[in-house]
Amino acid sequence: MNFYRLAKVVKRNDALPIASKMFVTDADIKRRCEHALEKIKASRDLEVTVMVTSGWVMLSGTVAHGGERWAAEEAVSSVPGVLGVNAQIRVRNLDLEDEVRGNVSIALADEACPAPADVGVKVEQKRATLSGFVHSPAQRRAARNAAESTQGIKEVIDDILLI
């Protein structure tokens, strides 16, 4: 694919605009995108790979927060020769939060208690915060153990109320 950049515009009737040919290959775009991502990786937890097809960039991988996904998209969209960006980037905390929530729900369903528990889960920086209420100490223990046993969770904050 050929790209041209206008080098000079002259306001004279007898002069022609001069175009300088700037050919950008997919390999060049990929290298430049990876370099742009390296600049932002120092301060962020990015695990992103780059694929380029006919100037279209596909980003795949995982990041810790939605802001990091946005930063990766912005970094590569400004690379010369990029026609568009398809970001297939997962936000790790959202996946981890869903996993913890599912594990807690399963653990609470296994507890034999006539009244249902209502436990909320929030995950930030590999720290799970459990909130809400349960009807027995066994339910509280089950929820906490389920969160602690989820891969990727380093700390559990138990704000569950026993009613």
- Where do the DSSP E strands lie in the chain? 2-8, 18-23, 46-53, 56-63, 84-91, 118-124, 127-134, 155-162
Give the mean model confidence (pLDDT) for residues 144-156. Answer: 86
Is the pLDDT score of 95 beyond 80?
A: no
CATH of the domain at 134: 3.30.300.130
The pLDDT tens digits for 65-89 are: 777 888 889 999 999 999 999 999 8
Q: How many domains in the chain? A: 2
The pLDDT tens digits for 6-56 are: 545 444 444 434 444 467 899 999 999 999 998 887 656 678 899 999 999
The pLDDT tens digits for 96-136 are: 777 888 878 887 777 666 667 788 888 888 888 999 988 88
My answer on whether 100 and 84 are in the same domain is no
Q: Return the closest-CA partner of residue 126 out of 103, 85, 98, 92.
A: 92
End residue of a domain, out of 41, 66, 91: 91
My answer on whether 100 and 85 are in the same domain is no
Q: What's this model's pTM, rounded to 2 decimal places? A: 0.49
The answer to the question of residue 58 being in a domain is yes
Is the pLDDT score of 160 beyond 80?
A: yes
My answer on whether 113 and 140 are in the same domain is yes
CA-to-CA dists, residue 68 to 22, 31, 45, 91, angstroms? 31, 20, 8, 9
Looking at residue 5, what is its pLDDT? 56
More confident residue, 6 or 143: 143
Q: Quickly count: other Cβ atoms within 10 Å of residue 117's Cβ.
A: 23
Its domain, for residue 134, covers 93-162
